[in-house]
Amino acid sequence: MSPNNHNILKLCENKKVTLAPMAGITDGSFCKKYKNLFGIVSIGAYDLDEATQIASEKIVKRGRKEFIYNLDKFDDLIKKEINEAKKSNALVSVNIRFKDIEKSISNIKTIGKYADIIELNCHCRQPEITELGIGQNLLKKENNIILKNFLEKINDLNLNIPVFLKIRANFIPVEELIDNLNNVRHYFNGLHVDCFNPGKNYPDLDYLKEITYNFEDKIIIGNNSINSIKDAEEMLKYADFISVARCVLKGNIKWIYDLNIKY
């Protein structure tokens, strides 16, 4: 495990729960409301180039939430959001999307100056994003060279902060996903795994178990349908952390405080 990963585990101390990114919701103002609750708070997803921002505008027009802003003022925006999120006393992870890595380098450098973690979005399934060949489509074998190019370019920036991938289970078979991630494993420090279980109202822990077994040197965050200490502890058998989203929106957070005390 890299020094960066040891540092994350140490800084989060007893806090095993992280806040997952929710498009159009998890900005700095949202995160700072939950002081001393989470080990990591994730803001975003933030678009870093014009193609993804146009896609987000289309998504908003059909009724979903996204972050819409002037890309020319991104430096000031992201600095403000990260500083606000840090008032939660958690590490701050920034979830990012882009189509053109070259047009996104400057924005990635800015994030690297202020954030604790960069999280590349390989998870979004909104058609406006996947039609660009990104989001969860970055997990496909035919797009592995694109994912590798993205990660190589980020690595070349020498940002000195960990890079995580937010990924979706059961988009492709776990064996295929493991092969594809092995091709780029040198370039990321952690995996944030949405244990999506099609047609079920509970997470696919078998999929997570396979990911964890094959990437023991990485930080693993498990996500999906966690609403209680029991749910959390089941997933923590195969993950370093778990992340939550909907239960926070519903105000179901007392169990997180209790879990922190337990650990």
The b-or-e profile of 202-237 (16+ CB within 10 A means b, else e) is ebbbebbbbbbebbeebbbbbbbbbeeeebbebbbe
Q: Which residues contact 6 (CB under 8 A, 6 or more apart)?
A: none
Q: What is the pTM of this model?
A: 0.97
pLDDT truncated to tens, each residue of the chain (263 aa)?
A: 565 777 898 999 889 999 999 999 999 999 999 999 999 999 999 999 999 999 999 999 999 999 999 999 999 999 999 999 999 999 999 999 999 999 999 999 999 999 999 999 999 999 999 999 999 999 999 999 999 999 999 999 999 999 999 999 999 999 999 999 999 999 999 999 999 999 999 999 999 999 999 999 999 999 999 999 999 999 999 999 999 999 999 999 999 999 999 98
- Render 58-88 in DSSP notation, one character per residue: HHHHTT-------GGGHHHHHHHHHHHHGGG
